[in-house]
Amino acid sequence: MKAAVPLYQDLASRLAGLIRAGTFAAGDRLPSVRQASREHQVSITTVMEAYRSLEDQGIIQARPRSGYYVPPPSLDVSKLPMAARHSKKPIIIAQASIFQSVMDLAENGRVVPFAAAAPDDSIIPSAKLASITNAVLRKSRSDALRYTPPMGRRELRLALSRRLLVAGIKAGPDEIITTQGATEALLLALRATTKRGDLVAVETPTYFGILHLIRDLGLRAIEVPVCTRDGMILGALETALKKHRIAACVVQPNFQNPIGSVMDAAAKKRLAKLSEDHGFAIIEDDVYGELSHDGGRPPSIALYGGNVIHCGSISKTLAPGLRVGWMVPGGWLDEVKRLKTIQCPWNATLSELVVASFLDAGGYDRHLRRIRELYSLQCARTRQAVVRFFPPECRVNQPAGGFVLWLEMPADFDSEAFTVSAVAEGISLVPGTLFSPSGGLKNCFRLSCGFAFGPRTLDAIATLGRLVVRNG
């Protein structure tokens, strides 16, 4: 007589079958233990044992204080984008002719917005922010509508001082300057640490806004390639430092845009030491740092020493339209204060008070848990669709955080022509040339997963897949 299968094993087998059949896809959250207990009419203990069995087999994974999820497919390194070819000579960055066209479409509601690296309306806690705004206006009255001094509202700087501890940054409120988004923080950091004609080390690929600031300040760039998983390739930076005097290095160590990479502790420590040995400033763009898909918050480079200016904002986590950012200038505090007073002496008072209240209300971590789950799911589903509809030679990253995908096609692919074809089909995206100081990366492009995934998204990916074949 065949021995009866333990109840938890039977449940685990059924759940594994549902996952294989696609009922639960990569990134999906499984029912809570209590919910699964009701649905399958078994005890909570049985569900917990079944979930542990599936976790031991690698079929599901637990996330602290969040639940159990279907993990992404096993990472096939051969399908990840390769480190970009890069110029080893200083570059004067040129304006890309396609840039304005891409920007004009970024927030166009009539197109599928793969170009806009911004949170979907479902991400923004509009009702909570409206409630806080009303409360701030009732409490502060006209004070909420007055000018705010250059350093920003003290209420916000106090809240940020507490919040930044999770990133390993110990900065008092008088060591923090608030800004109108992270772009102003990056601009102030570059102005404080460089002069016209100086050389700035920059990742390739990197966020195109950084390249525009470098160009408009009359600076030159030296490219440092980025590894898809581990971030900036420090050996290339060390080679550049042997040949050139570098004034500053702009880096996105956590969930880099557009690659999605994360520098580990050893790399951050090594970069911090290089900045001390060679006397350059590290300008840390950390706008995606809170958006880990597994809930862990990677630390700032500043935790490991070095000449670091930390820059951040709530544009990717809370609401971009509030225009609230910040910087911790470190040794450049006095110079940044001076520049801020000249450049943009008054901040968005009401927005700063609203963000300070949101941070102090205690719901920010709960909000982050919700949106991390959404971003993880949207990235996983979009990536699955790309793998399904694009040719097998397409390489695509598997980000551990943030919400952008980077796709690499064969060397003869023209992403600018592809972008024009996509727009004609009602789909926006960003060609790889905009992420390159030297105008390279023509065979790559970026897709944002910041908006809700649905039938419209799936149809758009299928259309792009057909266009790739046509343009290839």
3-state SS track over 277-315: HHCCEEEEECCCCCCECCCCCCCCHHHHCCCEEEEEECC
SS3 172: coil
For residue 38, the number of C-alpha atoms closer than 13 Å in the C-beta half-sphere is 4
Domain co-membership, 355 together with 399: no
Closest CA relative to residue 287, chosen from 315, 258, 329: 315
* 160 and 268 both lie in a single domain: yes
CATH number, domain containing residue 154: 3.40.640.10
Query: Are residues 226 and 103 part of one domain?
Result: no
Q: Which of 35-44, 101-110, 143-152 has the lowest mean pLDDT?
A: 101-110
Q: Are 308 and 275 in contact (CB under 8 A)?
A: yes
How many CB atoms sit inside 10 A of residue 43's CB? 12
Fill in the DSSP letter of residue 401: B
* Mean local confidence (pLDDT), 357-384: 91
Asked whether residue 148 falls in the same domain as residue 264, the answer is: yes
CATH code assigned at 374:
3.90.1150.10
What integer best gives the mean pLDDT of the chain? 90
Residue-number span of the structural domain to which 351 is assigned: 134-362
C-alpha distances in Å from residue 262, one per residue of 60, 119, 228, 273, 379: 23, 21, 9, 18, 16
Domain identity same for 138 and 111: no
Structure tokens at 382: 């979009």
Least confident range of 14-18, 229-233, 313-317? 14-18
Q: What is the pLDDT of residues 43-79, one digit of tens each?
A: 999 998 999 888 888 888 888 777 888 887 665 666 6
Residues 421 and 466 in one domain: yes
Domain boundary among 343, 362, 381: 362
- The total domain count for the chain is 3
Q: Is the residue at 88 inside a domain?
A: no
Instruction: Please check whether residues 352 and 379 belong to one and the same domain.
Output: no
pLDDT of 1 over the 50 cut: no
**Do residues 16 and 114 both lie within one domain?**
no
For residue 85, being part of any structural domain is answered with no
Least confident piece of the model among 96-100, 131-135, 435-439, 445-449:
96-100
Q: What's the average model confidence in pLDDT over 84-100?
A: 73
Is residue 215 scored above 90 in pLDDT? yes
Say whether both 201 and 340 belong to one domain. yes
| 281 has a pLDDT exceeding 70 | yes
Express each pLDDT in 81-90 by its tens digit: 776 767 677 8
Tens of pLDDT along 169-203?
999 999 999 999 999 999 999 999 999 999 999 99
| Residue 90 resides in a domain | no
Residue 347 covered by a domain? yes
What is the phi/psi pair of residue 344, to 5°? -155, 80
Last residue of a domain, one of 308, 332, 362: 362
CATH value at residue 25:
1.10.10.10
pLDDT bracket for residue 472 (50, 70, 90) = low
Domain boundary pick from 338, 362, 386: 362
For residues 313 and 187, state if they share a domain.
yes
The answer to whether 69 and 29 have CB atoms below 8 angstroms apart is yes
Co-location of 378 and 355 in the same domain: no
Is residue 306 very low, low, confident or very high in pLDDT (cuts 50, 70, 90)? very high
